Structure 1
Amino acid sequence: MEPIIKCQYFEEPLLQFADGREHIDPKIGISRYGPKSFSPKRKHPDTVRIGFIGSADTIDSAKSWLKKTSEGVLCDEDHVEFPGYMEDRGFFSRLIFDQDWNGQLTQKEIDKILEKKPKERFEFLLEILEEKLDLLSKKDQPPQYIIVALPDNIYGKCKGVDYRDQEKGLVHRDLRRAFKALAMKYQIPTQFLRQKTIDGREKDDPSKVAWNFFTGLYFKAGGIPWGPIGLTPGTCYVGIAFYRPLGSKFNSMQTSLVQAFDEHGDGLILRGPEFQWNSYRMNSRSPHLNDRDANNLINIVLDRYEKEMGQTPQRVVIHKSSTFWPGEKDGFKQALGQRVKKFDLMSFDTRQSHIRLLTTSSYPPLRGTRFMVGDMDFLYTTGFISELGQSHVLHVPSPILITDHVGQDTPRETLLKEVLIMTKMNWNSSRLGGKAPITLRFSDIVGEIMREIPSDREPMPQFKFYM
């Protein structure tokens, strides 16, 4: 007997902007109403002090690009015009520059970097960047946001390095990730700005580049670009992932990574305890927790939530990219059952592409389409956006698969609507939605930066230091 296919459509979630105004598209919402924290003012940065690290030429060109782009960028019919980052429009904020906030790489330092071998070159550049960052952070009035604008020849030779260590084996390091990890110590958000972006060699439309850059800048400066509508009050949404500490032996040492969000979209990043995972012995490439570690991890999350919010969440929803093993289920259920009223555990396969819907038109399936084939449950988080009459993906979209659901406290329909909302909560980009919910979206990015943070140093919990 062939399985029955059932379909359901969820309308595109609305977002909230200044004065409580609503729209589905972040770009249109900010253009028309301004960012959420602008009015009523909550964390809105009226001004942002901008610092730079780079050569004399790259600092000058980066500053010129920022000044020009902040005035606004026109677009073609396929994009939304960028209104600017100005006091009277766009993000309603002003950029401030000062020569005292420039950390210049001298020609002598550049020559010394380039003459070294790859590993030493990589580490020496990091040392110099940290020296500049340290000096800027100790100014009487330090910058609030630092742009790293390296010359192409420096970035090209130092953006990554692979080497073999006698104790740690093969090691790969990435410049951006390593710098982000060390920059946290100075508590100033940073952003790499490539020369190809400044001189227009980027493949993306200039208005799209501007939208993404300044949306991230506004958030890192303390603002809230937009807020979600429809997430359940009193809920703590938790994303659990794993990463391998830098240079760990035998691919067995793993550390848990937790991202917790409230109904406003505010999130925290927490580093869980280390544990041993041998993929060969356990016959699984995806790490899993035992009941004790799962219990401990959730208690860490709830303790932090209570500290930040002043109360215990009424409900907890856990997202994971691999199915829940028996030990994980038992540990999570035990910890949650003792402290919260309702909870659901969900896992997703966001990379599956072997099952798709085929439409009778030339357009892809609608974003927000849910369909079930027997016991399998799918959700299109990318696709055609009927409210705009547009498709924001350049490839044939595929749905995510719900691979596991433990708990019966929330209807599946409600859980999937929340997933759709959380695909729109990436404040590092102004795109309408991503494929994975924010609980899982940053897992790889954050994990790669977290692995560079020594175990004896507490990582910063705010997302702006990882973006």
Structure 2
Amino acid sequence: MTGSWRAIHIDEPRLAFGHDQTADHPKDGLFLFGPVASNQNPARMDVGVIATPAGLEKYSKWVASIERFIDVPPPNPKRKRNDANTFVWPGFQAVYGAAWPSKPFATCLIDAGELSRRILGADRHQAIYSAVALYEEALRKYLREEDARPALWFAVVSDEVFRYGRPQSSVPVKLRTPGTRRLGMKAARSILTKGSMFAEEMAAAAVYEYELNFHNQLKARLMDTSQVVQVVKEATLDPPILAENARSSMQDPATIAWNLSTTSFYKIGGKPWRLAELRDGVCYVGLVFKRIERPSGRDNACCGAQMFLGSGDGLVFRGAVGPWYSETRDAFHLDQHQAAKLMEMIVRSYTHIHGSPPTELFIHGKTNFDSNEWAGFSSAVPHITKLVGVQIRDMADVKVFRYGANAILRGTAVVTSDTSGYLWTRGYIPRLRTYPGREVPNPLTVEIRQGTADIEQVMKDVMSLTKLNFNGAEYCDGLPVTLRFADLVGEILTAGPITPHAPLPFKFYI
């Protein structure tokens, strides 16, 4: 290296599991030691199911299957699969020490014919909105009439709902449900801004306030119920049998068992693992911005924040809607007042959990922080809290090659100054004996934009935060959890009309 640049390697962060044991791979730790000890770990998985009769049958069949050992599939030279990253599944109780009954704790049945009729409607806004309504109404009816509460709901959706419940989906003309009339975004905007004498027109226009995404819309519309929901495809629970030479993007049954069981255990309140080396008093916050286009609104973006601790606990805060996006700068920035309000919520929640404010608070963002925004953040933290702003971006125009066939080693870093550097969170992983990717791995640029901190410690923190994704049991992510789910959280925050609500745990959004 030349000048003040220097190359270093950041060791793989260790994770803590049961019996105070550590490992660097979640599957190793869970297989050998079980989840980290916590009084929140369930003894039984009390799961409710919202599904058609076929979906309910597939759910029960899948739960029965994960109680047993599941082997990895035999090698198939025609299928690209990373054998080093494929693990046998020992059984749910063997891994998590909890029973998962195949009979649901509660059941809300959906009429399959009516669901199909709704999702195939010609007006995509009305079709997705009304299909979501079937699940929403079934759950709300249960909550009104029953006292017993599952800790987690599985919303099982058919392949048809998954296919046509996404943005840009188009139903073939011959399959469309007849008799539905498309209002259109332009007409909806006119009705919602100018008003209408007819309640039917207002109701039809209101549907256009919702995103064309079944998954996100369902999550957003159920936030006020305080029920945790896992949306899962029928094909995930019961994969179709493919011909020997057929290609499939589906994961093998053992991998599905690892990933879906891990996220379910986490969402039900369990603690799968945590960072082995916790830094006391440290809080990490990821900024979330999402552009919006609403028929009735003038503001162009919604802001939010994700707060994470080394234990893996996370909260999502919804900020205000406003003109936060600048087309000329292609960047998002809060004004000083809203930045202060958002930070006040974060510090208040951290203090409520720990009894005192954080000693260090790192804000991770994809864009830089302007002076007004940072002044607002700074004004809302107590004097004992050290506030640091870190910009983290993917860099596609920087490549490093090694001699031989292997990619650059994960954890490689190039420190370019006291406040910046390149960090390869993707790369060759000795534990897996491979690089689990297809293209030459790109680094992250890590830049301290506000405040002061040790750049090497900041990079170590970023590496650690790539191992706190409880949405599966993979070795690591390419992005820290503070930014990994920023787009998804933003989409759910804006999937319907923007309404204020109290901060909710991160598990409500993934």
Offset at residue 289 of structure 1 (A):
2.1
Contact kept? 2:291, 2:325, Cα under 8 Å: no
Q: Which residue matches 1:191? A: 230
Q: Tell me, in whole angstroms, the C-alpha distance in 2 between the residues paired with 1:32 and 1:149.
A: 31
Offset at residue 396 of structure 1 (A):
2.2
Q: 2:266 aligns with which of 216, 219, 227?
A: 219
Q: Tell me, in whole angstroms, the C-alpha distance in 2 between the residues paired with 1:104 and 1:460.
A: 30
Listed as ranges, the matches of 1:431-446 within 5 Å are: 431-446=474-489
Q: Tell me, in whole angstroms, the C-alpha distance in 2 between the residues paired with 1:251 and 1:435.
A: 35
Amino acid at match of 1:129: Y
Q: Which residue matches 1:148? A: 155
Q: Which residue matches 1:367? A: 410
Amino acid at match of 1:461: L
Q: 1:275–1:90: structure 2 CA closer, same or farther, 3 Å change rule?
A: same
Question: Aligned to 1:126, what secondary structure does the other structure show?
Answer: helix
Question: Aligned to 1:166, what secondary structure does the other structure show?
Answer: helix
Q: 2:444 aligns with which of 384, 389, 400?
A: 400
Offset at residue 180 of structure 1 (A):
0.8
The alignment's C-alpha RMSD in Å is 2.6
Q: Tell me, which stretches of 5 or more residues in structure 1 are unaligned?
A: none
Q: Tell me, in whole angstroms, the C-alpha distance in 2 between the residues paired with 1:442 and 1:356.
A: 25
Q: Tell me, in whole angstroms, the C-alpha distance in 2 between the residues paired with 1:98 and 1:205.
A: 24
Q: 2:62 aligns with which of 42, 49, 65?
A: 65
Q: Which residue matches 1:200? A: 239
Q: Which residue matches 2:96? A: 91
Q: Which residue matches 1:333? A: 378
Q: Which residue matches 1:14? A: 14
Contact kept? 1:243, 1:448, Cα under 8 Å: yes
Offset at residue 100 of structure 1 (A):
7.0
1:222-279 deviation line (CA, Å, top 9, x unaligned) = 0010001234201121111212346167884322211112232211111122332352
Q: Which residue matches 1:133? A: 139
Listed as ranges, the matches of 1:59-458 within 5 Å are: 59-75=56-72, 77-78=83-84, 79-86=86-93, 89-98=94-103, 101-110=106-115, 112-113=117-118, 116-117=121-122, 118-137=124-143, 138-160=145-167, 164-168=185-189, 172-201=211-240, 202-245=249-292, 247=294, 252-277=299-324, 279-280=326-327, 283-336=328-381, 338-350=382-394, 352-373=395-416, 377-408=421-452, 410-458=453-501
Offset at residue 158 of structure 1 (A):
3.0
Q: Tell me, in whole angstroms, the C-alpha distance in 2 between the residues paired with 1:168 and 1:226.
A: 47
Q: 1:96–1:362: structure 2 CA closer, same or farther, 3 Å change rule?
A: same
Offset at residue 157 of structure 1 (A):
2.9
Amino acid at match of 1:10: I
Q: Which has the higher strand share?
A: 1
Question: Aligned to 2:227, what secondary structure does the other structure show?
Answer: coil
Q: 1:390–1:247: structure 2 CA closer, same or farther, 3 Å change rule?
A: same
Amino acid at match of 2:377: F
Between stretches 315-324 and 257-266, larger displacement belongs to 257-266
- Quick one: percent identity of the two aligned structures? 24
Question: Aligned to 2:332, what secondary structure does the other structure show?
Answer: coil
Q: Tell me, in whole angstroms, the C-alpha distance in 2 between the residues paired with 1:290 and 1:167.
A: 30
Q: Tell me, in whole angstroms, the C-alpha distance in 1 between the residues paired with 2:39 and 2:353.
A: 17
Q: Tell me, in whole angstroms, the C-alpha distance in 1 between the residues paired with 2:119 and 2:460.
A: 52
Offset at residue 348 of structure 1 (A):
0.9
Q: Tell me, in whole angstroms, the C-alpha distance in 2 between the residues paired with 1:298 and 1:115.
A: 44
Question: Aligned to 2:50, what secondary structure does the other structure show?
Answer: strand
Between stretches 26-35 and 363-372, larger displacement belongs to 363-372
Q: How many residues align?
A: 457
Amino acid at match of 1:62: Y
